[in-house]
Amino acid sequence: MKRSLLTAGVLTACLQFCPPPPACAEVTLYPAPLGSRLTADYAVWVDGQPIAAYAATTHLRDGKYSFAYFDFSGAVTVSIRSKLPLANCRVLPLSAGISPHVRGDTLEFTLSKPADLSIEPDGPNSPLLLFTNPPEVGAPKPGDPNVVYFGPGIHQAGVIKLGSHQTLYLAGGSVVKGAIEAQGDDITICGRGVLFGEDWPWDKGPAEYMANFRGCRGVTMRDVILQGSWYWTIVPQGCRSITIDHVRVCGSRVENDDGVDVCNCVDVTIRGCFIRTDDDCIAVKGLDRTLPSEGLLVEGCTLWTDRANIFRIGFECESAGSMRSIAGRNLDVLHYPGRGSSGEYWSTWVWYIQPCDETAMDDMDFEDVRIDNRDGSRNLIKIRPMIRTGWGWEGKRPGKHVRNVRFKDVILTGSSAEAAPGIICVAGVDAQHVVDNVAFDNVVRYGEPARENSPGLEIGAFATQVAFSAPTRAGGAGKGP
Amino acid at 354: Q
Helix (H, G, I), strand (E, B) or coil at 117: strand
- Spatial neighbors of 8 by CB under 8 A, at least 6 apart, are none
What is the enclosing helix (H) or strand (E) of 11? Answer: helix 8-17
CA–CA separation, 286 vs 313, rounded Å? 10
Which of 455, 412, 465 minimizes the C-alpha distance to 434? 465
Domain 147-469 has CATH 3.10.310.10: no
Q: Are 283 and 314 in contact (CB under 8 A)?
A: no
Start-to-end C-alpha separation, the chain:
27
Domain positions in the chain: 8-133, 147-469
CB count within 10 Å of CB 125 equals 15
pLDDT (tens place) for every residue of the chain, 481 residues total: 444 433 344 344 444 444 444 456 899 999 999 999 999 999 999 999 999 999 999 999 999 999 999 999 999 999 999 999 999 999 999 999 999 999 999 999 999 999 999 999 999 999 999 999 999 999 999 999 999 999 999 999 999 999 999 999 999 999 999 999 999 999 999 999 999 999 999 999 999 999 999 999 999 999 999 999 999 999 999 999 999 999 999 999 999 999 999 999 999 999 999 999 999 999 999 888 788 899 999 999 999 999 999 999 988 887 667 899 999 999 999 999 987 655 566 789 999 999 998 999 999 999 999 999 988 888 999 999 998 876 677 778 999 999 999 999 999 998 766 656 789 999 999 999 999 999 999 999 999 999 999 999 999 999 999 999 987 654 444 444 3
CA distances from 281 to 46, 183, 226, 351, 465 (A): 30, 24, 13, 11, 29
CA–CA separation, 172 vs 2, rounded Å? 10
CA–CA separation, 19 vs 365, rounded Å? 45
CA–CA separation, 40 vs 27, rounded Å? 24
Burial 312-348 (b: 16+ CB within 10 A, else e): bbbbbbbebbbbbbbebbbbbbbbbbbbeeeebeebb
What is the enclosing helix (H) or strand (E) of 13? Answer: helix 8-17
CATH topology match: 8-133 vs 147-469: no
Q: Which fold has domain 8-133?
A: Dex49a from penicillium minioluteum complex, domain 1 (2.60.350)
